[in-house]
Amino acid sequence: MTEQERRKRQEKLLGKLNRLEAYHEIQNEMGRLTAAFNFHQKEKVLEHFALDLEDVSLEYADEGRFEGPAAVKAVLEELLGAPPKPGEMIDMQLTTPMIEVAEDGRTAKCVWWCPGAGAYTDNEGAHAVWLWGEIAVDFIYREEKWKVWHLHYFRLIKCAYEKGWVDDLSMINRPNTPMHPKSLPSTYHNPYSPLSIRDGIPCMPRPYRTYTAADRYWELNRDKR
Amino acid sequence: MRWNMEDLDFLNEEELAELERRTERLLSVWEIQNLRGNAAIFHDDQHIGEQRRELNALKHPGVDAESMLEARRKPVVDSLEGNMLIHPLTTPVIEVDETNTKARGVWWSLGLEGLSIHREKPMAILSIGMVPGVHVKEDGEWKILWGVWQRTTKNEYHAGWIDSMIPTNTRPPLTPEQDRKGFGRYAYQKDRVRCPVPQPPEPDTWEKYPDEWDQSWQKPASETFGLENEKSENKKTVEEKGEES
């Protein structure tokens, strides 16, 4: 074996090890982000985003797509800005990790399925709700840390706990109130309802070499081949 | 592709050692996930007095092994019929220290239980919570040093988590007040703001909190919500079995 061949194999081995480490680090980062979201810690959630990138983005159910650092901050302010109220709860959890780290080790495409429970309050008191969804994320490696580059939360179920997801459809779509001024059109919103049809979105990320412009919105790909 | 010895010949000693170290730490994460999965299985299977592989670090300095073993022999239900404790582990955050001998982890869980204390018709329970814990290597194997189920909800299924909170099943039974001070300490309450505890461990958790018994990493000082002075309160007394059963 020539020295050059050995060097190539060494690079390959290190690449594999780096990707294995990335697999673990990304799950930890996403776990921390989810805990911070559940704990209503806006600043901690923001720390996980690549806010130095102009195309950092967050899309949340049917609230629209928020592109750029200012818009991401704005939607998180909308979601988590007000102080938490007594009786409120969000408890979303990460399961079924599907993670593909690019061969070049600079980005990763990920999907998690997220069962969840919650509670909101109104004049009548606190109300228990189911909050199930899926999350698709592009991570990017910046200054030796994995950061969220694009995050898309897909709502699957949002219903009164005691009624269930077949009978209570009152929360699956946002009310007809003005959209956030920084929002861009949603790319996808297909929560469960008795008439909805599931279509495998977000899709499974596939192995890839390097992230290109064509990869944007890979999670919406319906081609299952 | 599988590697053979020749493939590794090109590495110098320093490079080889670093590769070994990084690989071992990744394997530790995998082993700890399996360990916690095994603990979840044992938690659901409530046969007492059975011979089982040991998952806890009984030899580690500071562990009160005798109390732990004694607690395991105490039944909390008359019959196992109709009882179930399914606590799937989700949202893992695991940080192994640089020496690959200690690891902190936090999992979340959305689980289901069946509870029948005196052979009555079982109660269906929805149980949400977290599992913060520390793991150490003992005789070359990862073991649980401590880890406490931390309840978020434990409600009769049909009643929902706003108004129903089933206390931890103990003998003698706990009063709601006693339960609130124990496993229910950070549980959901409709008239309270949620406490952000446990915080998942950060990448520098072992630099900041080198003592494996130190529990303050779960609740950084700025966010204690009046929970100060809890450092190491569970030292030597924490026993995961018996939780919420």
Work out the average pLDDT over B67-84: 94
Indicate the pLDDT class of residue B84, thresholds 50, 70 and 90: very high
Residue B102 structure tokens:
């200690």
A33 within some domain: yes
A224 within some domain: no
- Closest listed residue to residue B134, CA positions, set B184, B63, B185: B63
Distance CA B172, CA A35 (A): 35
Residues of A in contact with B93 (CB under 8 A): 27-28, 31-32, 35
In chain B, where are the structural domains located?
5-223
- Residues of chain B in Cβ contact (below 8 Å) with chain A: 3, 6-7, 9-11, 19, 22-23, 26, 29, 88, 90-95, 106, 108-110, 128, 152-153, 158, 160-162, 188-194, 196, 199-200, 202-203, 223
pLDDT digits (tens, 9 = 90+) for A100-112: 999 999 999 999 9
CATH number of the domain where residue A178 is located = 3.10.450.50
Indicate the pLDDT class of residue B2, thresholds 50, 70 and 90: low
Interchain pair B194, A161: CB under 8 A? no
Q: Is the peptide bond before A97 cis (omega within 30 degrees of 0)?
A: no
Work out the average pLDDT over B96-117: 96
Residues in chain A: 225
ipTM of the modeled complex: 0.85
Residue B102 CA neighbour count, 13 Å, CB half: 17
- Closest listed residue to residue B102, CA positions, set B44, B66, B62: B62
Q: Are B94 and B134 a contacting pair, CB within 8 Å? A: no
Work out the average pLDDT over A150-154: 98
How much is the pLDDT for A13?
83
Interchain pair A86, B190: CB under 8 A? yes
Interchain pair A1, B6: CB under 8 A? yes
Pick from B5, B30, B89, B162 the residue to mutate for testing the A interface (most A CBs within 10 Å).
B162
Indicate the pLDDT class of residue B237, thresholds 50, 70 and 90: very low
Interchain pair A87, B189: CB under 8 A? yes
- CA-based nearest distance B200→chain A, Å: 6
A225 within some domain: no
Interchain pair B189, A86: CB under 8 A? yes
Looking at every residue in chain A, the average pLDDT score rounds to: 95
> Which domain covers residue A37, as residue numbers?
3-218
Number of domains in chain A: 1
Interchain pair B200, A128: CB under 8 A? no
A56 within some domain: yes
Interchain pair A34, B91: CB under 8 A? yes
Cβ-based neighbours of B34, under 8 Å, separated by 6 or more: none
Domain B5-223 = CATH 3.10.450.50: yes
pLDDT digits (tens, 9 = 90+) for A59-90: 999 999 999 999 999 999 999 999 999 999 99
Of the candidates B22, B88, B190, which has its C-beta nearest A17's C-beta?
Answer: B22
Beta bridge partners of B108: B90, B130
Number of Cβ pairs closer than 8 Å across A and B?
114
Distance CA B99, CA B29 (A): 13
A192 within some domain: yes
pLDDT digits (tens, 9 = 90+) for B187-196: 999 999 999 9
A158 within some domain: yes
- CA-based nearest distance B161→chain A, Å: 6
Looking at every residue in chain B, the average pLDDT score rounds to: 88
Q: Are B21 and B80 a contacting pair, CB within 8 Å? A: no
Q: Report the b/e string of A175-204 with b at 16+ CB within 10 A.
A: eeeeebebbeebebeebbeeeeeeeebbbe
Indicate the pLDDT class of residue B228, thresholds 50, 70 and 90: very low
The residue with tokens 């070499």 is: A209
Interchain pair A13, B94: CB under 8 A? no
Cβ-based neighbours of B41, under 8 Å, separated by 6 or more: none
Residues of B in contact with A41 (CB under 8 A): 196, 223
